[in-house]
Structure 1
Amino acid sequence: MTAAGFFAAAPDAALAALFVPFESAELRLPADGRALFLRARAGVRLREMAQPGWLCEQGFMPFADELARNGLRVGEPADGEVFPLVLVLPPRQRDEARALFARALLHTAPGGTVLASMSNAEGAKSGEADLARVAGTVQHQSKHKCRVFWSTPDAAGIDQILLAEWLALDAPRAIVDGYFSRPGLFAWDRIDRASALLAAQLPHDLHGRVADLGAGYGYLASQVVARCPGVGAIDLYEAEARALEPARLNLARAQRDCGRELAVAVHWNDVTRGLPQHYDAIVSNPPFHQGRADLPELGRAFITSAAEALLPDGRLLIVANRHLPYEAILAAHFRDVRTLATQEGFKVIEATGVRG
């Protein structure tokens, strides 16, 4: 399996259901061939339906790359740019979904349509109710255990006060202990227990240039800054673009709190494809699932990329669920592998002595 393949699971039924209103002639594709697709996912049906004027927005890099490989135009709409059709695959997290509905309406041309699809098991009825609250009248169909719903609002039908409130839901916000995050990120409203366990085990003598793989909103990297005074530079790598802004805010605060400046860089990057430079140390709480399914190959890919990017005397510190079988691949890449801590179902592992 290729690195990209770890993330390229077949799109769920919501993508297939999204195009049902066109098949039943409830809706027609825009005459000018233009559409915006928010949180777009690649798939056979999208390739069949998409026209050259479609713009696909996707903030998760592996999914964005998959869309591009399928020949679709990937990017972000300009401020004020509007489309006669805006398609949406809303996320399960409700604040994130509400902000996405509000953005969809901002980019919908007068007389245009917002069309969304969600799995029944992922809150489809709530999603439809939310679109109706902000846009007015909504129609729906059901297919593939999903609900596809749409609105063609007029300006008077849009609740402008609610629209502004929902747009603000996506702004980075303070959560706990002064950290900033935003809805929908991993452990977005709390400090992840596994990351906290790894932070508590960070060696104080970490030094030089450090990388945090799968950095999220920047908690672990901030802890490196706070606990390891010998670190002079830190790079954060994260595949979800929405995490980058809160990560920058948190790293700026960490530097202010410790009273020193580091060379800090935040990268939108799929680390399973390798890293662009070498490091004295790497820390990571690697992802181990896609959707609801365990996919330990993700963590193994992180370990491989880390080993290839570490200097010969560098070290890797990772945290993982205790049941995940990472020891074999660690032993294949490092001469010395030891468990530093086990607690609440997690394990912290240090690996040193990169094999040539």
Structure 2
Amino acid sequence: MFDTVVFDTLSLAFEEADLLPETGAILCLRAEAVPFLMQLPKDRLTCQNSFKPDHDALKAAGFAVLPPEAESFPPAALTIIMPPRQRDETRALFARAMRDAPVGGVVVASLPNTLGAKTGEKILAELAGETQSLSKHKCRAFWAVKTEDWNAQLADEWIAFDTPQQVDGGALWSQPGLFSWDRVDAGSELLADSVPEWIRGRGADFGAGQGFLSREVLANCPHVESMTLFEAEYRALACQKKNLEGFTNWTSHWADVTKDAPKAEFDFAVMNPPFHTGRADSTSLGQDFIRAVAGALKTGGTLWLVGNRHLPYESVLSECFKSHEMLEDEGGYKIIKAEKPKRKR
């Protein structure tokens, strides 16, 4: 979620540089359902976001939204980009935007200075050549016009890198932009080592990412009947298929678990909950995950959780479970076991 000053700066650039075309399609990549979008002509606007909460919010607001798997975009006179956090994903998104824009089309983005505004403009300049920019509110809006001599070869290289690939010496299939994309996350690895081999029944993995935790459970816990993976970032699902290749007792769902989690369905759950939304830290998101997983567990169910040591999860664990205990405190992470979710009467 971007701060409102990012959109204020973008709006100012629209006014001063006359970026909004009178006719033609408008495309917004990694769009968020924010008031800024309401200022654009809705009948000409198409949005894209593969993150389920944002995708659903855009649809609920009545915007035309591309399917989450879309990596080719309709040609647009104006393409607006809300750059993601990770550099390689950002490069590929800018490359796809430039590739699919018509000659003469404008590509524009905005970022806070503290979150890589100059780097973002440099990425666009490497593709487009000349860029223009406007700075305000400690943010920068920057844009370029696609010309015949744009750097299509570099775009192809950046797009080719933005695919599922083996990382960490082959230990994991992952993709730029996913959490801990280029290595096995140390917290998840610690949790995988802490889950006992004797667990049994139907399990769930909330915020499953590339599927590492589910793979380790299925590989090392012979009494587990099945694993159900829930992940909000659609791009992770292709990596799950590769990481869980060879296992048949698992299913995956593109889901916002804070809204769409099932009720009283699982015997146990494993979880390394997220603690940021887009570019912004959000401690409450992990707490919402705990509430969601408590509702999804059966009465006698157990949660195995890893979190950064400083994250305040204990109070919500007490709110949602009859008991919980810290099993390990190592390397800046804590492993917590919580049992028997409370039911509201």
1:57 aligns with 2:48: yes
Matched, 1:342 2:335: no
Q: Which residue of 2 aligns with 1:122?
A: 115
* Aligned residue identity for 2:50: G
1:112 corresponds to which of 95, 101, 105: 105
* Equivalences for residues 305-320 of structure 1 within 5 A: 305-320=292-307
Give the total of aligned pairs: 339
TM-score of the pair, normalised by structure 1: 0.88
Residues of 2 paired with 1:293 and 1:110: CA distance?
Answer: 34
Whichever residue aligns with residue 8 of structure 2, its letter is A
* Other structure's SS at 1:224 match: helix
Where does residue 163 of structure 1 map in the other structure?
A: 155
SS in 2 for 1:36: strand
Range moving further from structure 2, 16-25 or 228-237: 16-25
More moved, 62-71 vs 135-144:
62-71
8 Å Cα contact 1:82-1:106 kept in structure 2 = no
1:43 to 12, 18, 34: 34
* Distance in 2, Cα, partners of 1:124 & 1:80: 24
* Residue identity in the other structure for 1:40: A
2:61 is the counterpart of 1:70: yes
1:16 aligns with 2:8: yes
Secondary structure, aligned partner of 2:158: helix
Percent identity over the alignment? Answer: 42
Pairing 1:212–2:205 present: yes
Using the TM superposition, give the Cα deviation of residue 213 of structure 1 relative to its aligned residue in structure 2, in angstroms: 0.5
- Contact kept, 8 Å, 1:140 with 1:149, in 2: the verdict is yes
Report Cα offsets for 1:27-82 as digits up to 9, x if no partner: 232413x2110011222222112422211111222222232333322224684631
Decide whether the 8 Å contact of 2:2 with 2:279 is kept in 1.
Answer: no
Shift of 1:328: 3.1
CA distance 1:175–1:267, shift in 2 (3 Å)? same
1:52 is aligned with what amino acid? D
The one-letter amino acid paired with 1:91 is P
Q: Residue deviations 1:144-192, cap 9 Å, x none? A: 222212121222x112211110111211121114211112211111221
Partner of 1:288: 275
Q: Does 1:146 align with 2:139?
A: yes
Hey, what does 1:271 align to over in structure 2? 257
Counterpart Cα distance in 1 of 2:276 and 2:152:
38
| Alpha-carbon distance in 2 for matches of 1:202, 1:21 | 52
TM-score scaled by structure 2? 0.91
Structure 1 residues 73 and 165, CA, compared in 2 at 3 Å: closer, same or farther?
A: same
Aligned to 1:181: 174
Q: Which residue of 2 aligns with 1:262?
A: 248
For residues 304 and 234 of structure 1, what CA distance do their matches in structure 2 show?
A: 19
Contact persistence 2:85–2:279 (CA under 8 A): no
Q: Is the 8 A contact 2:208 2:271 kept in 1?
A: yes
1:319 aligned partner, one-letter code: V
The 3 A distance-change label for structure 1 pair 248 and 200 is: same
CA distance in 2, matches of 1:79, 1:60: 17
**Deviation (angstroms), 1:128:** 1.3
Distance 1:320 1:297 in 2: 13
Equivalent residue number for residue 124 of structure 2: 131
- Structure-2 residue corresponding to 1:297: 284
Structure 2 unmatched runs, 5+: none
Report if aligned partners of 1:287, 1:298 keep a CA contact under 8 Å in 2. Answer: yes
Aligned: 1:203 with 2:196: yes
SS state of the match for residue 126, structure 1?
helix
